[in-house]
Structure 1
Amino acid sequence: MIKQVSPNDQSKQAVLVTGGAGYIGSHVCKALSQEGYQPIVYDNLCRGFQWAVKWGPLIVGNLADHDSLCRTIVEHAPVGVIHLAGYAYVGESVEQPDLYHQNNVVGTEVLLSALAQSAGAASPMVFSSTCSIYGDQVTTGLSEDLPPNPMNPYAKGKLQIENMLIDAERNSGAPFVALRYFNASGADPSTEIGEAHDPETHLIPLVLEVAAGMREEIVVFGTDYGTPDGSCVRDYVHVTDLAAAHVSALRYLLDGGRSGVMNLAHGSGYSVLEVIAAVERVTGKEVRYRKGARRPGDPATLVGDATLAKKTLDWKPRYSDLDTQIDHAWAWFRSYHKIPGDP
């Protein structure tokens, strides 16, 4: 069943945003609106939130519902699609690989079929891919020309979808950009939206929960990796910068840009223990942690090279400093959880 919330501004070019009620999706919708587009959010609200949809209509529906997608596409006639819908927990994908295949891969097949059937022309698509496709590599500064080495079902599914988009372009001419972004972090600087997963699995908000006294401690999964302090190293990218890149990628395709894969990364990494120290620095709170065993499917280091996106999309990240990212996340966290004190 489809439920539509909030009116559609017919004067703006519509963009279909699957998963637009989620963390990254809601920031993408705000960025689209600021650039003069009308985001049309398609989300089943399984892991997204209705309160996060503020800049256009929400159609509540599943990716597996071909008829619902077709009706949405015909009614709103989007000039392009930003496809973010999908489950994104690495550990869960290891435990439930069939769930991830059905929801992420098969769901995308249904979306592509609906677009081919209902869109008036070949719809350009910006796809939310992942750096996890690279897996463990012997080099740092991961670039797009490295051979994929996905280590978990989540990453394998994302790579499969990238290949599906290549096939779809051959068949229909629909161009795409797959954005392989590294770890999303931070929150809207105005604290209008931010990160709120249930359950929460992302490192920074989990550490913030400890700082706020909502969680006793954080578990550091693995302290025996071949990294400077033994904990995993990740490349953190502010969610507002990620959102801006999605809009730039859409415009690039609408202007006739060629399909391809592009990294969204800061270019340097921080270990889990360094993130904990940064949260203590920003919040002024002590963060208790304990050492745990490695999780299956976790590469030791994931740090990206975003030279291609910066050159092709003229992408200029504004919030690369980790302390700034955590400061924005902390301001949102306190606002969302109604924690007293200055924002």
Structure 2
Amino acid sequence: MSTCLVTGGAGYVGSVVAAHLLAAGHRVTVLDDLSTGHRDAVPPGADFVHGRVQDAGKHVGGGYDAVLHFAASSQVGESVADPEKYWRNNAGGSLELLAAMRRFNVPLLVFSSTAAVYGQPEATPITEDAPTRPTSPYGASKLAVDHMIGAACAAHGLAAVSLRYFNVAGAHGELGLGERHDPETHLIPLALQVAAGERPSLAVHGTDYPTPDGTCVRDYIHVDDLADAHLRALDAATPGEHLICNLGNGNGFSVREVIETARAVTGRPIPAKDGPRRPGDPAVLVASAERARERLGWRPVRTDLATIVSDAWNVRLAGTGNAGAGNAGAGNAGNGRT
């Protein structure tokens, strides 16, 4: 049993990972400034500290065996409009966290990275050896943190694992933990908001891609499978090594397939309006998760798209509030970026 600090543990992925850690018998403290997270998403049994990761030196003390780092700004479009925020929060905050970990001799880090570091891929499925050419300050800031972590491992013997997510979806049904972003930009929750009558329609950005139905293809991973990978990363981390693993389903689903699945799951109409391509959207983003299988012993088990959508919809129907509505307006179904 370890004592873990979960930064950003009041957010979507962080809260689900915190719940899995508690279920596995670990002691958990969540650090979150609630700028995008929600206090009611912190799972029962976790201690909570209201604070910023930029002030990690005030919050990371002795006694932690590991840090799982989710705290970050994560909107691609916003990062283009306000890059300073992303360098300050993502890169600057992570630098302060690494310094605090060294000061207090915390030996292990699991970092929430992203497939956005790869930018426009040269080939699919995408492996960890693919060129890293992020096309947004969001992806660039996350890549910078990966470089910081690698240097800390080499210089100070830190044990670290960076997990590069593709598209995370679904919900942790036991505690009703689902996506609750504001603004919402991810395809599955947007489709469910339309089904629930909270948005009038979805906008499909691009119908002429070189894919079977002309719409973008993306790799979706269930949030519970993602959480399982984080717990396995705790066991796989090795002092002095920075292990990087992609996490994905290994299969791609098109925008139209996701919309049709959401219609079937909900039994409700989901109007979708076709539009032109959006600049910078790759046709296909699918992960190779072979390294995660080999090094972490991880394999996703909730790979069916209908299961992923059903879990998200059931949490919404349950009315727990943890998968609440986003802003009203037309949804953006270009891809569902990570």
With the length of structure 2 as denominator, give the TM-score of the two structures.
Answer: 0.90
Q: Which amino acid aligns with 2:213?
A: D
CA distance in 1, matches of 2:280, 2:13: 23
Identity %: 43
Which SS does the other structure have where 2:211 is aligned? coil
1:70 to 57, 76, 90: 57
CA distance in 2, matches of 1:49, 1:336: 15
| Structure 2 unaligned residues grouped into runs of 5+ | 322-338
**2:157 and 2:241 in contact (8 A); partners too:** no
1:104 to 82, 86, 90: 90
| Structure 1 unaligned residues grouped into runs of 5+ | 1-11, 339-343
Match runs of 1:277-288 below 5 Å: 277-288=260-271
Matched, 1:46 2:35: yes
In 2 relative to 1, CA 87–94 (structure 1 residues): closer, same or farther, beyond 3 Å?
A: same
Q: Report the equivalent of 1:9.
A: none
Matched, 1:89 2:75: yes
Deviations 1:149-172 (A, max 9, x none): 211111111111101101111221
1:263 to 236, 246, 251: 246
Shift of 1:257: 8.7
**1:225 and 1:300 in contact (8 A); partners too:** yes
Deviations 1:51-108 (A, max 9, x none): 011231111111222xxx2342225x21011011101111111221111111111111
Match runs of 1:73-222 below 5 Å: 73-74=60-61, 77-117=63-103, 119=104, 121-222=105-206
Shift of 1:122: 4.7
Matched, 1:273 2:260: no
**2:149 and 2:242 in contact (8 A); partners too:** no
With the length of structure 1 as denominator, give the TM-score of the two structures.
Answer: 0.89
Matched, 1:294 2:277: yes
1:14 to 3, 9, 20: 3
Total equivalences in the alignment: 320
Match runs of 1:303-318 below 5 Å: 303-318=286-301
Q: Report the equivalent of 2:209.
A: 225
**2:154 and 2:241 in contact (8 A); partners too:** no
CA distance in 2, matches of 1:88, 1:229: 29
Give the root-mean-square deviation of aligned CA atoms. Answer: 1.7
**2:64 and 2:106 in contact (8 A); partners too:** no
CA distance in 1, matches of 2:319, 2:241: 40
In 2 relative to 1, CA 285–277 (structure 1 residues): closer, same or farther, beyond 3 Å?
A: same
**1:222 and 1:230 in contact (8 A); partners too:** yes
CA distance in 2, matches of 1:233, 1:62: 36
Shift of 1:223: 2.2
Deviations 1:270-323 (A, max 9, x none): 111110011011111111011233334432221001011012111122211000
Deviations 1:17-69 (A, max 9, x none): 1100000000000110111111110110000000011231111111222xxx2
